[in-house]
A and B are shown apart, each in its own frame.
Chain A
């Protein structure tokens, strides 16, 4: 398990990183936390000619409030996500999710941008971005654009980032009054990839669910929204009947694949149970009710 030989270059700015990528005659990869890329290199599943280390680009760091959005730099480590007071105040879904993300050693190095750019549907952050209705900032040599999380993920490990461009930040809208958020997952061992995970964001006004965003991990090629289950919740009180309707509707939303050791039926069962449990928890305000 030794990587094939590659060139390595550390860059100081996004522009320098993009130029280095463009100048590379072979295959180049951006290296951030390296928690997925380095194992892939050692397993020789990937063998680029050049690694561009973006880990010290200051512009990619930082968590800031910008207007009605929370901007989180792509180099934000999972440990920082877990500890950030700004994130806890405005996007507690991410704080909850970060506690499920692997183990401390991995959280100390793994980054927000790296996880999203990899687009592993079993990871927590892609589902969170969809549940939060976030925008992702992609920077190429021709400038920066923003893509809605719902439009970002294309397929297993595939997204809309063009070769040579880079995910530079995510922008999470500040929550409306009455927003409730909850992340939970079911994994065989603490810190494992989820068998099923759910990022849920509801806006509840008075007794009525105004909007619902449910995004699942590990049940499809991308983080999966559950539109039928969401529709079953909207416009009515969040009660046992609504939850029963939502979990029943889930069968029309998700079609998880069979994979070794876990059948599609078992995964679907876990998704239903998880949805029921998360929604039940969200019935009480203590769970994720945002300050108005």
Chain B
């Protein structure tokens, strides 16, 4: 890699743009994904899925299917109810939240179209699918709750008959007095709608459960980002010993939050293996992925901003209604997204008066839950649209109004009206860096020139604040068995190499790459001498794994401190052998050296001695060359990051098509460990955000049918339509850790849709039009322009 990709604050490895060690293997087709795992006596599962969004279940006749060739067992809800305890997607810190208990397969009703109803376990997937066609299920269709607003109506059918209405959770955040602040002030308002979209991972969900009745051991290969969480869940819900449950996440082809939720099929596959005492595999095909993977977003947000004549913000009021499917997802709930929306709105700005209402409603659609940048894009788009409207109202430039209202340097540590505490952000420096990077005045001049020729370009910017490095404040306080700490076991092998087993996981983003860099630097060895192991509950220490932007910040610090521990151990042994003071020794490039860098012995020599000739060590000196370290952040509840996006678009006002001309990001994720990977995290995130802004939408019909559940009809953003993405960094390390790293996984997604929304509206503004619904499809833009 060229030196220009490296961080200016870098060390020998930390801050270097090194390629991922696993990339060549994956490119060569040597990946080993869950579906690649084949076990002796393995059976395959397929599911009959509900064609109705809401229906009572009548008689299920499986007699013909059970007798078909290759079929081993046909299972229904009652089979699983006997062996699996129900799960409920609530957390105790979301006061008053409720959600219907779930079982692997339903007993009496179905609540979304695509819900698995009957499971066939057969010799092959094809035979299992053949048998599905022979199953008779008597469905009695019920009126479906589809629309977000209608779901709350007094006349709406109830999805959970035991509940008074379809509201699963409500909360209000209030600080100061917004009513007073709005009195006599200029104000601007938005009513924004955000469609549903979904993850569309390259590798779909896959689960292979293997129960060994001899030892009562359960081994599950699963495409997930959180193996420890599933170890706990399988043990508890199936009454197994946790130590005898092993969850292995082999190569995982993308996850984006989608693969950390409990899916009915996963629980059914584990249950089937327990019942049949054989390995059972289920791999979701693409149609099933659309029908059963979690969806993201689905909000209607009404908000208003009061602003003084000086352009200073006075108050924000928010009402967010989010539709989350028939029940709340487990174990993280479907309330976190909305909760983060109402807590992040207005976050970059000086505000004291703030009020936000959140209503989480049930509907007969597939479950909605955490997906990359949970809540951030909604909060960002709402805030930044309000800010642009205020700028427009007062005749201020979008850069200027932000500059006037950002939380300022002397305010840190700063607490937002919603209770988030910022250690330090770099809002103003990111803003001015973006201004230069875009060459903003030139863009505006070009925009004006082209406007005269009937070419309608728009420029939009959007500031984000991102939640990273979560402490137990996130889930642990709510009673979830989701760890906020990570563990790392480091071993110096007899040959003087390093094995690192760590609890953060790898889904293609490069977790293993950065951990290797951190350990190599922390220990003083070559990067190639460090081998990183992840994704197996039996060979790695328990920890939080990878979610919510925590791998680098928490896992990375864990690895750094573990490497310090191992280094101390190595130097203690070396000191004994070399009859030196450990404090006068160091490790550099794989050798124990004097303080001045003169090599005294290689780590291979030291390893050989410690493992094979421990008799040569003085009495009382342990030969142990394996250390374990666990770390959980204890300072701020979250390490907040920030940044800003710029978007340049061109709107074809005859067709409603938008050409994405360029996108800029200036981001601050604290200490950059690998700038190459940070840039790719940003780029991937930007593309996902632009997908939500223009292309991706799970469209439902009036009866709750998903209308576009295929790769033909669901528009994943593709390279041809994507703009060049220019990225720059500002580094404000957190002082809570020695490493100083924060997360960067959501930063691309958090603000790209908001910047694009502002850009399109900037293009439409002179035409007297505006759009307020994502994705911004040609149809919606044509309607906004009153062309149709």
Seen from chain A, the residues whose Cβ lies within 8 Å of a Cβ on chain B are: 1-5, 43-44, 186, 188-193, 195, 260-263, 265-266, 268-270, 273
Residue of A whose beta carbon sits closest to that of B710: A43
A2 touches B125 (CB 8 A): yes
Q: How far is the CA of A44 from the CA of B699 in the complex (A)?
A: 23
- Verify if B656 is at the interface (C-beta below 8 Å from A): yes
Q: Are B655 and A270 in contact (CB under 8 A)?
A: yes
User: Roughly how many angstroms separate A251 CA and B779 CA in the complex, as a whole number?
Assistant: 18
- Are B655 and A260 neighbours in the complex by a CB distance under 8 Å? no
Partner of B129, one of A2, A192, A260, A262: A2
Q: Which residue of B lies closest to A259 (CB)?
A: B707
* CB–CB B779/A266 < 8 A: yes
Residues of chain B with a CB closer than 8 A to A269's CB: 654-655, 782, 787-788
A260's contact among B133, B286, B707, by CB below 8 Å, is which? B707
Contacts A/B (CB < 8 Å), 16 sampled:
A1-B129, A4-B129, A5-B130, A188-B695, A189-B717, A189-B720, A190-B721, A261-B699, A261-B777, A262-B779, A263-B779, A265-B788, A266-B656, A266-B778, A266-B782, A269-B655
Contacting pair A263 B788 (CB below 8 A): yes
Q: Are B699 and A273 in contact (CB under 8 A)?
A: no
> Which residues from chain B sit less than 8 Å from chain A, CB to CB?
124-126, 129-130, 133, 285-287, 654-657, 695, 697, 699, 701, 707-708, 712-713, 715, 717-718, 720-721, 777-779, 782, 787-788
Contact of A5 among B126, B777, B788 (CB under 8 A): B126
Provide the residues of chain B in CB contact with A191, threshold 8 Å: 718, 720
CB A219 to nearest CB in B, in angstroms, measures 15
Chain B residues with CB below 8 A from A190, complex form: 718, 720-721
Q: Is the CB of A1 within 8 A of B779?
A: no
Q: Chain B residues near A195: list those with CB within 8 A.
A: 778
CA distance A98 to B28 in the complex (A): 31
**Contact B129 A189, beta carbon cutoff 8 Å:** no
Task: Give Cα A43–Cα B124 distance, bound, in whole angstroms.
Answer: 17
Looking across the interface, which residue of chain B has its beta carbon closest to that of A3?
B126
Do residues A273 and B654 form an inter-chain contact, with CB atoms below 8 A?
A: yes
Task: Check A188/B715 contact, CB under 8 A, given A260-B707, A261-B708, A266-B782.
Answer: yes
17 further A-B contacts with Cβ under 8 Å, apart from A5-B126, A190-B721, A263-B788, are A1-B285, A2-B129, A4-B129, A44-B129, A186-B657, A188-B715, A189-B718, A191-B720, A192-B715, A260-B708, A261-B699, A261-B708, A265-B788, A266-B788, A269-B654, A269-B655, A269-B782
CB-nearest residue of chain B to A272: B654
Complex: A3 Cα to B717 Cα, angstroms: 29
Q: Nearest-CB distance from B201 to chain A (Å)?
A: 16
CB neighbours (8 Å) of B708 from chain A are: 260-261
- Tell me the complex Cα distance, A70–B697, Å: 44
Q: Do A261 and B286 touch (CB < 8 A)?
A: no
Report which of B695, B697, B788 forms a contact with A189, defined as CB distance below 8 A.
B695
B126 near A2 with CB under 8 A, answer: yes
How far is A261 from B654 in the complex, measured between Cα atoms in Å? 18
**Which residue of A has the minimal Cβ distance to B783?**
A266
Nearest Cβ on chain B to A245's Cβ, whole angstroms: 18
Distance (Å) between the CB of A26 and the closest chain B CB? 16
How far does the alpha carbon of A195 sit from the alpha carbon of B777 in the complex, in Å?
12
Of all chain A residues, which has the CB nearest B717?
A189
Residue of B nearest to A274 (CB): B655
* Bound complex: CA A265 to CA B782 (Å): 10
List of A residues within 8 angstroms of B779 by Cβ: 261-263, 266
Among B286, B699, B708, B782, find the residue whose CB has the most chain A CB atoms closer than 10 A.
Answer: B782
What CA separation (Å) do A3 and B695 show in the bound complex? Answer: 30
Across the interface, do B287 and A260 meet the contact criterion of CB distance under 8 Å?
no
Of the residues A4, A5, A43, A260, contact of B701 by C-beta under 8 Å? A260
- Give the 6 A-B residue pairs with the shortest CB-CB distance, closest first: A2-B126, A190-B720, A1-B285, A265-B788, A260-B707, A273-B654
Determine the distance from Cα of A266 to Cα of B721 in the docked complex, in whole angstroms.
21
* Nearest opposing residue in chain A for B288, CB measure: A1
B286 and A1 within 8 A (CB): yes
| Contacting residues, chain B, for A262 (C-beta < 8 A) | 779
Name which of B130, B777, B778 has the most chain A CB atoms within 10 A of its CB. B778
Q: List the B side residues contacting A189 at CB < 8 Å.
A: 695, 715, 717-718, 720-721
Cα distance, A263 to B695, chains bound together (Å): 16
Distance to closest chain B CB from A75 (angstroms): 24
A99: shortest Cβ distance to chain B, in Å? 13
Which chain B positions have C-beta within 8 A of A260? Answer: 699, 701, 707-708, 713
Neighbouring A residues of B778 by C-beta, 8 Å: 188, 195, 266, 270
